[in-house]
Amino acid sequence: MNKIPLLVLLITLCASAFSMQYSLYPEDGSVEMNYWYYSGGQSGPQIKKEVIEDIEKAFRSEGVEPVVFANYSWMQDILFFDEVGNFVELANLPLNEEYYDGLTMGVFESFGWGSAELTRVSGDDFFPYDKKVKSLSLAFLEGGATITGKFANGESYLIAYESRFNGMAKAYRDLMSNSADTEEIHNYLANDLNVKPENLIFIPTKAGSEHLDLFMKALPGGVILIDDPSRRVEVASSALKNSSSNTLNNIMAYEEGDNYSWQKNNYKKKINLVTSLLEKKFKIISITGRFFEYFTNVNGVTTGQELINFFNGVSGVNKQGNPFYITNMAENDPELEDYWSKELSVLGFDSKNIHYPGEYSNGSGLDCMGSPTI
């Protein structure tokens, strides 16, 4: 990088340090939701027209207007808003792969020899949507690996992985102060994101890198639902005991078989680690919400698959003040949808405000498609 662009970047970092007047939009359903900006299902993996129609119908039934923003397949990962509806532009950092540690390949891909490709939404991309643009000076997050919300006292929080902190810390030391300690950088990031330092929480790297929105869901008041793998067999057996599908057999084959034992054990360790960390500040509710299956396809290949995930959804509150939850279907297994609805009913959701239009497969579902805003 030559001296002029570096100087411009440093000026931007300093001038932007206090530019975020509001926190990121809380995805926990604690504030009004009017729009859901999403990929439209035509960018990247094609989603059936009838599924798209069902998704849009579900949002509109809750007073939320879907808006197609087809820059990227999984818009949730790269599209951010603040809590009053401004578009938030992620930090415009140099393409140093050390700054983007922990991001998925679709967002940042290094080709070696200093060559890389970054998928980032800029203010210019958002011009047609008539939104004000606010810029982050250092923070570069990935939506699926970020959880935002508000505690009962109204304070905002943000949860991400430690690998993201490490990448941003490297950028800070290279571009701002090479002697900065962890606390200084943490405080700078908290200020950049307009949250208190104690409410900016990073999950240790040893918990892995699986997107947070695959195994947890934030609800208002500092409540977080976290997957409970220990009850998966019990839940599936109870819900599907009279089902004509073969899903229960496939789930049992995965859970009780020797295959994927390493993944299963590590997942349980991850859940325990994340729970023990977050329960210090949050009300954690353990609930089984994702189901893995082990089955043989039409070509005779036997593999593990995850086709049912209820965490990977969108929650909000409609104009009548009623909470709603829009998530992925359990295709051919409505009994599992009924189970999830009953669990949500205990948390204050009415059955008429719970919807299952999304299509989920191995880490990608409805929540990945878009970002909510006021």
**pTM of structure:** 0.93
319-342 pLDDT tens trace: 999 999 999 999 999 999 999 999
Which residue(s) pair with 117 in the sheet?
109
- 8 A C-beta contact, residue 172 and residue 188: yes
Q: For residue 112, what pLDDT is reported?
A: 76
Instruction: Tell me the per-residue pLDDT of 284-308, one tens digit each, with 9 for 90 and over.
Output: 999 999 999 998 888 888 899 999 9
Would you say 53 and 23 are in contact if contact means Cβ atoms under 8 Å apart? no
pLDDT the model gives residue 17: 44
Checking if the pLDDT of 30 tops 70, the result is yes
The answer, yes or no, to whether residue 16 has pLDDT greater than 80, is: no
In angstroms and rounded to an integer, the radius of gyration of the C-alpha atoms of the chain is 21
Which stretch of 128-132, 256-260, 280-284, 299-303 has the lowest confidence by average pLDDT?
A: 128-132
What is the pLDDT, as a whole number, of residue 129? Answer: 82
The CA–CA distances, whole Å, from 108 to 98, 103, 115, 178 equal 11, 6, 11, 24
Mean of per-residue pLDDT scores for the chain: 92
pLDDT in tens, 80-109: 999 999 999 999 999 999 999 889 988 999
Token couple for 20? 């975020």
Beta carbons within 8 Å of 15's beta carbon, 6+ residues apart: 137
Question: Rounded distance, CA 175 to CA 192, Å?
Answer: 15
94 DSSP 8-state letter:
-
3-class DSSP assignment, residue 194: coil
